[in-house]
Amino acid sequence: MSRARRFPVLAAVVAAVALASCTGEETGPPFREVAGTRLLMASVMEPAADHLWASVGWIITPEGEEKIQPQTDEEWILVRNAAVTLAESGNLLMMDRRKMDDEDWIGWSRDLIDAGDAAMQAADARDVQGEQVYFACAGCHAQYWANDPNQFRQ
Ligand code: HEC
């Protein structure tokens, strides 16, 4: 078979594979988004982040710096749970119905996944910091929180 005759066959195979992968997407899991971006922030992410930030850090007292951190295994588990919630929220933000674009939005969501993952591992090592999570939240807000109440579905 000549090159010229083989090419259309190859093109047809490529087209068939492309079609199959499109169809595959349509028949994927039946996601049903209950919380839009704003409600996900308010009900899932903010409580988890608040718990994390309230549980770790430093306070300055007249006697000097005092480290705040969980005191019991149970308290550490709650901090770890918050870290897992934040990490997986990054994945939820990347879902088609929520993502604003395929570039920086994905980048900030990925930063949140990394930050939550790091906090989870740090909780296991009993040494959590809150900054990395904070930078992922603040970075995305600076870019996408347009203060337009109609932009995101509740
Ligand atoms: C990938 C982008 C992105 C990341 C990461 C992100 N946010 Fe948001 N967040 C938004 C956008 C966009 C809005 C504005 C939603 C609106 O105006 O309806 C918002 C709004 C909020 C709100 C206001 C919700 C309300 O009821 O009006 C809170 C609270 C919030 N974010 C908390 C957080 C916290 C805490 C984190 C980090 C743990 C975080 N967000 C990470 C994009 C992000």
pLDDT tens for each residue of the chain, 154 residues long: 455 555 555 555 555 445 555 554 567 889 999 999 999 999 999 999 999 999 999 889 898 999 899 999 999 999 999 999 999 999 999 999 899 999 999 999 999 999 999 999 999 999 999 999 999 999 999 999 876 656 655 5
**Whole-number pLDDT of residue 27:** 72
Best substitution site from 111, 114, 141, 152 to test ligand 1's pocket, by max atoms within 8 Å of Cβ? Answer: 141
Q: Is the dihedral of CA 50, 54, 55, 57 positive or negative?
A: positive
| Residue in the block written with tokens 């306070």 | 59
Find the 137 Cα to ligand 1 centroid distance in Å. 7
How far is residue 98's CA from residue 35's CA, in Å, rounded to a whole number? 10
How far is residue 97's CA from residue 152's CA, in Å, rounded to a whole number? 10
Find the 74 Cα to ligand 1 centroid distance in Å. 28
**Whole-number pLDDT of residue 15:** 52
How distant is the alpha carbon of residue 13 from its chain centre?
36
Ligand 1 near 109 CB (within 6 A): yes
Find the 142 Cα to ligand 1 centroid distance in Å. 10
**Whole-number pLDDT of residue 1:** 46
**Whole-number pLDDT of residue 36:** 93
